[in-house]
């Protein structure tokens, strides 16, 4: 394997940094930043919608595993996005197995750089299934977003406002207020970085 080529190919914040470390004695300082607000609902009958492009999907593995162990009766819906299906569909086998077992009620995917399928981001997929998403939210679902704070999180927020406006029959201002209320009620939780 050409390690130098592999190092250059990696562009993620953490993987790029780790790949740049040289030698056996290389060290990296790490710390854990907790987010006490990014927790599953205490009521296990509540539906959960998880939006995690790229490595933002990682906490949702734990969410799905935890809800299965709890015997949660609420449905679980995952939105996952990445650039390439073949090389970046993180935890693919686990998600497929969770769908097969009924632990994941839905799993919507979006890939932005594959030439064989139309370019799509998670916010595009959200809009495409907006009617169902709105129904879940109206039924009390909790919504979680994890990942990129600069582009993805604002784009997802804008998509949510569009969805509420279209399927709730409200003005843009009222839809924005509705999305803010979801956050105030701790039903729209974000762990973005």
**Termini Cα distance of the chain:** 32
Mean pLDDT of 145-159: 96
More confident residue, 13 or 102: 102
Greater model confidence, 12 or 96: 96
pLDDT digit string, tens, across residues 53-65: 988 899 999 999 9
CA distances from 42 to 96, 101, 110, 111 (A): 26, 23, 30, 33
- CATH top class, domain 41-192: alpha beta
For 95-145, the pLDDT digits (tens) are: 999 999 999 999 999 988 877 778 899 999 999 999 999 999 999 999 999
User: 12 near 54, Cβ under 8 Å?
Assistant: yes
pTM for this model (two decimals): 0.85
Pairing of strands 106-111, 142-147: unpaired
pLDDT reported for residue 12: 61
Confidence grade of residue 165 (pLDDT, cut at 50, 70, 90): very high
User: Domain extents for the chain?
Assistant: 1-31, 41-192
Residue 3 has pLDDT above 50, yes or no: no
């Amino acid at each position: 394997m050409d390690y130098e080529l592999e190092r250059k190919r990696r562009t993620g914040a953490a993987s790029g940094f780790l790949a740049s470390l040289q030698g056996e004695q290389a060290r990296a300082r790490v710390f854990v930043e907790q987010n006490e607000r990014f927790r599953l609902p205490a009521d296990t009958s509540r539906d959960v919608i998880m939006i995690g492009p790229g490595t933002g999907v990682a906490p949702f593995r734990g969410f799905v595993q935890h809800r299965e162990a709890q015997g949660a009766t609420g449905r679980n819906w995952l939105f996952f996005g990445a650039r390439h299906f073949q090389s970046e569909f993180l935890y693919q086998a686990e998600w497929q197995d969770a769908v097969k077992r009924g632990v994941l009620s839905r799993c919507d995917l979006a890939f932005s750089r594959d030439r064989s399928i139309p370019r799509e981001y998670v916010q595009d997929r959200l809009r495409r299934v907006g009617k169902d998403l709105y129904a879940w939210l109206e039924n009390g679902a909790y919504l979680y977003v994890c990942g990129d704070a600069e582009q993805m999180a604002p784009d997802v927020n804008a998509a949510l406002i569009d969805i509420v406006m279209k399927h709730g029959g409200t003005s843009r201002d009222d839809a924005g207020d509705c999305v803010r209320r979801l956050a105030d009620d701790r039903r729209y939780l974000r762990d973005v970085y």
